[in-house]
């Protein structure tokens, strides 16, 4: 540590404390302020950073310059050390110091300590700007595949619930008041379809994210014959981002797009949670929450509280706030790198982690939620069949508005209606007796195949890059 001193009234006093870093001497307070939480958050990016460095050094070794920057043996040694760093990170032994500031310089420091000048050469032709953009895209690729998998799992649980209880009547409500005959099958698979739309959004976000920014350097390229396509191929990306200024400028925007898709998942979960809180109230008793997914009271021995559902509802707001934060951090930013974007990393990671944990807990809860068929059937009152009766009269030749007013004035005629018969008569596409469960299963299978194929392709690329014995976690 370097110390600056000031003489005051003949007494030497310490004025500032400055730490030496790879990129210059920085005041203690400035270093802590600018590094922020990166020394902790970036631990989640160690594997991504090492993979990116392995692809970069491989590309540099093939660059048509003389003398070669890296020999084949140099590349082998660098990649071996990068694999070792990944192993340390997985074991919780890799550290990012405040002097490092971030994962990029921590990895470079470690390589330099092991390999000397080879470690000093790996930053050739890149910047921390395109490094972190790459790391976050690699991180997001894994997170998106996990989000897709967890969304598919919950949608599958709801589909099974809908199929098993397709013929169980359930009062359909508008304005939270009894409306028309419905079914558990219709209710449960409505959320299956909602989640399938969310899956489609996540897949679109995945496609946008599936491009490599590496080689953009500080956003303006470098005067070296680098091969950005090769780097993208080595890392299993579909393509490189074309424009180098956009490659780095996509930071923040990409995070907000992904969080937007995640927030739609949370919107679905929040509505599902609200329904469950309503329909498991003793006054309804339609569904029975599993005891293991409820919490107790510190004073009321009998309580089984739906805390999970209440928190899902709250966390939907948190993820939406994370998305807005990422959006707002960049909406006023000019082109080129601005340090503001560093603040998007935490909300991005938090939003993804919150969405994944919410999906997992909801899938577990729904898989064990019970159905109280008696309470569902007994929830029907004659007025629920009013619209059905009006349409029967229309089918017999009465104008609809006349049928409407007739039924409104003669609700006592509806006492003999059977809920099961009512839902069995709605056979058109998507109604209670017209649900295409096979269609839902096909869409879920297609999403599952997409996840499996993308993971396999990514794992193949990483294994080829780092060696056949390497078993990647970041897939």
Mind telling me the catalytic residues? 175, 297
Strand partners, 200: none
């Amino acid at each position: 540590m370097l110390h600056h001193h000031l003489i005051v009234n003949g007494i030497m006093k310490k004025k500032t404390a400055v730490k030496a870093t790879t990129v210059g001497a920085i005041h203690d307070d400035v270093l802590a302020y600018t590094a922020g939480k990166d020394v902790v958050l970036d631990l989640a990016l160690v594997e991504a950073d090492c993979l990116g460095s392995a692809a970069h050094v491989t590309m540099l070794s093939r660059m048509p310059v003389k003398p070669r920057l890296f020999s084949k043996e140099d590349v082998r040694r660098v990649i071996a050390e990068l694999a070792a760093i990944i192993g340390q990170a997985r074991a919780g032994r890799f550290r990012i110091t405040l002097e490092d500031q971030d994962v990029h310089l921590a990895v470079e420091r470690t390589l330099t300590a092991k390999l000397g000048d080879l470690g000093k050469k790996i930053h050739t032709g890149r910047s921390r700007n395109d490094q972190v953009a790459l790391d976050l895209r690699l991180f997001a690729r894994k997170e998106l595949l996990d989000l897709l998998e967890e969304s598919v799992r919950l949608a599958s649980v709801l589909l099974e619930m809908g199929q098993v209880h397709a013929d169980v009547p359930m009062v359909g409500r508008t304005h939270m008041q009894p409306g028309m005959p419905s079914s558990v099958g219709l209710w449960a698979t409505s959320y299956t379809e909602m989640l399938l739309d969310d899956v489609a959004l996540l897949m679109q976000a995945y496609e946008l994210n599936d491009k490599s920014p590496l080689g953009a350097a500080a956003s303006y390229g470098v005067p070296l014959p680098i091969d950005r396509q090769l780097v993208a191929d080595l890392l299993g990306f579909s393509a490189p981002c074309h424009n180098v200024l956009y490659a780095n400028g996509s930071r923040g925007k990409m995070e907000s797009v992904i969080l937007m898709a995640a927030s739609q998942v949370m919107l679905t979960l929040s509505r599902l949670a609200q329904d469950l809180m309503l329909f498991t109230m003793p006054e309804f008793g339609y569904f029975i929450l599993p005891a293991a997914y409820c919490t107790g009271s510190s004073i009321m021995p009998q309580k089984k509280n739906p805390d999970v559902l209440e928190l899902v509802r709250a966390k939907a707001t948190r993820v939406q706030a994370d998305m807005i934060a990422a959006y707002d951090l960049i909406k006023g930013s000019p082109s080129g790198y601005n340090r503001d974007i560093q603040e998007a990393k935490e909300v991005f990671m938090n939003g993804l982690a919150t969405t994944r944990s919410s999906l997992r807990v909801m899938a577990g809860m729904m898989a064990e939620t019970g159905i109280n068929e008696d309470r569902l059937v007994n929830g029907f009152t004659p007025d629920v069949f009013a619209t059905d009766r009006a349409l029967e009269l229309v089918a017999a030749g009465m104008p609809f508005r006349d049928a409407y007013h007739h039924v409104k004035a003669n609700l006592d005629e509806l006492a003999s209606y059977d809920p099961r018969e009512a839902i069995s008569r709605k056979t058109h596409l998507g109604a209670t007796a017209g649900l295409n469960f096979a269609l839902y299963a096909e869409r879920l299978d297609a999403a599952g195949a997409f996840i499996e194929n993308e993971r396999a392709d990514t794992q193949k690329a990483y294994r080829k890059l780092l060696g056949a014995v390497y078993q990647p976690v970041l897939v």
